[in-house]
Copies of this chain bind each other. A is one copy, B any other.
Amino acid sequence: VSLAPDPLHHTKRAILDTAERLFATHGFKATSLRAITSEAEANLGAVNYHFSSKDALILAVLRRRMTPLNQERIEILTRFEQEADGQPVAVEKILEALFRPPVELVARGNKGGRYFVRLIGQCLAEPGAYLQPLIQEEFAEKNQKFHAAMHRALPYLSSEEVHWRLHFAIGVFLHTIANADVLELSSAGRCRVTSVEGTLRRMITFCAAGFRAGEQQGTQS
């Protein structure tokens, strides 16, 4: 996941980085422009010059990571589909294409990847909903492609059921990454989301089994 290719102004980039971190750490409304600009060693006026309002700033923060992230997911899935050569892609592979980019973004840890995923969770939970439309728009293609792939892999599931289970899988992934500290606390420090491969394997194992459950649909009431 590479960031925008433009040679971003130093201050503009610093503001984006700092805003990402502070938004994720303290919440959107709770983060003042003053806090951002002072930590970014920029001027208070700069944020209204480069972006034009606080609302536009958070959209910029989100878009910067979200777009390349979803592109990467789709690229991986497409590669798997080419390798499969007409056959359906295995459930595990589809899940890997879905999970790996964000997990690596978080684990790579350089700068604010970690903060970004927290932000996504916040955007869904926090309503404000200035950004809910953006999210929908930005995720539409990804959702459609992954639904199609999963439906092909599990043709005995109804389309609705695939939607439900994709929703479940997203829940697994979001809560695991965004609230990793809760896991660490409730396990008294014994479980940590440090290893990319370990975390991926655990999530994929869990979700793949979930997707394959009840092959003839609804055995238990």
Name A's B-contacting residues (CB within 8 A): 24-30, 92, 118, 121-122, 124-128, 132, 135-136, 139-140, 143, 159-161, 163-168, 170-176, 178-179, 181-183, 185-187, 190-191, 197, 201-214, 218-221
Contact = CB atoms under 8 A, between A and B. Distances in A.
A87 B3 CA distance: 54
Given A165-B206, A207-B210, A213-B205, A160 B26 contact: no
Contacts of A207: 168, 210
Contacts of A210: 205-207, 209-210
Contacts of A136: 185-186
Contact of A27 (B25, B127, B159): B127
Contacts of A132: 181
A174 B168 CA distance: 9
A128 B27 contact: yes
A164 B127 contact: no
Contact of A128 (B30, B173, B204): B30
Number of copies: 2
A218 to B, nearest CB: 7
Given A127-B27, A160-B190, A175 B174 contact: yes
Contacts of A206: 164-165, 168, 210-211, 213
A56 B26 CA distance: 18
Contacts of A25: 127
A187 B163 contact: yes
Contact of A143 (B186, B205, B219): B186
A114 to B, nearest CB: 12
A147 to B, nearest CB: 8
A214 B186 CA distance: 23
Given A172-B172, A206-B213, 14 more contacts: A124-B125, A126-B126, A136-B185, A143-B186, A160-B190, A164-B183, A165-B206, A167-B175, A168-B175, A171-B172, A171-B173, A201-B218, A201-B220, A205-B219
A118 B122 CA distance: 11
A204 B165 CA distance: 11
